[in-house]
Amino acid sequence: MCIRLTIIQVTLSLVITRELPWLRGLVLLPAQLLGAMLAAWLASMLLPGDIASVNTGLARGLSSTHGLFVEALLTCELVITVLMLAAQKSNATFIAPLVIGLALFVAELAGIAYTGASLNPARSFGPAVVSGVFPKHHWIYWAGPFLGSAVTSGFYGYLLGFKFQEANPGQDRTGEEVAVGIERA
């Protein structure tokens, strides 16, 4: 599989579903955290203002429990999109990057007002490390995505058990194959 991964919970889901070797996933985790810290440091050097201002935070009146489930739900939406489009190979795979980007955009729009829509522990971790300011609810930006990733991976495994790919036989046949009656195995 040749997927470039930059989101920790997507890496976790691909490891859980065995689409990515666990050793590669283990190597990607610190690389993503270091990348987030470096990006936050560079942003703090290049842009005016305090980098702590980009720390993710909960909306006024939103409890940590609600924030946890918002992050988990947004993660579910993103991860199922990645698993169904990038991990499953079909004729539609070429459009996967566009649809995954759109799924991330929708998740960001839905969650930005509530939790800052981190959707990625590294996104919240980098600015917190560089600024030295860890909000008391920082844990939700780790637990929420990991919870959403685990639930979605389980659901994906459930779908695989029912062989959902066979629900629409011949869906990946091209026009030429249909015209000459070629059957794929």
119 falls within a domain: yes
DSSP letter, residue 183: -
96 falls within a domain: yes
Count other C-beta atoms under 10 Å from residue 28's C-beta: 21
Give, for all 185 residues of the chain, the pLDDT tens digit: 334 445 788 888 989 998 889 999 899 989 999 999 999 999 999 999 899 888 999 999 999 999 999 999 999 999 999 998 888 777 767 888 899 999 999 999 999 999 999 988 999 999 999 999 998 999 999 999 999 999 999 999 998 888 877 776 666 666 555 455 555 55
Buried/exposed code over 119-150 (b: 16+ C-beta within 10 A; e: otherwise): bbbbbbbbbbbbbeeeeebbebbbbbbbbbbb
Of the CA atoms within 13 Å of residue 50, those in its CB half-sphere come to 7
Among 94, 91, 84, 93, smallest CA distance to 172 is for 91
Q: What is the CATH number of the domain that holds 103?
A: 1.20.1080.10
Q: In total, how many domains does the chain have?
A: 1
Looking at residue 8, its pLDDT comes to: 84
The pTM (predicted TM-score) of the whole model is 0.82
Domain coverage including residue 138: 8-165
Looking at residue 7, its pLDDT comes to: 79
2 falls within a domain: no
160 falls within a domain: yes
Which amino acid type is present at position 31?
A
94 falls within a domain: yes
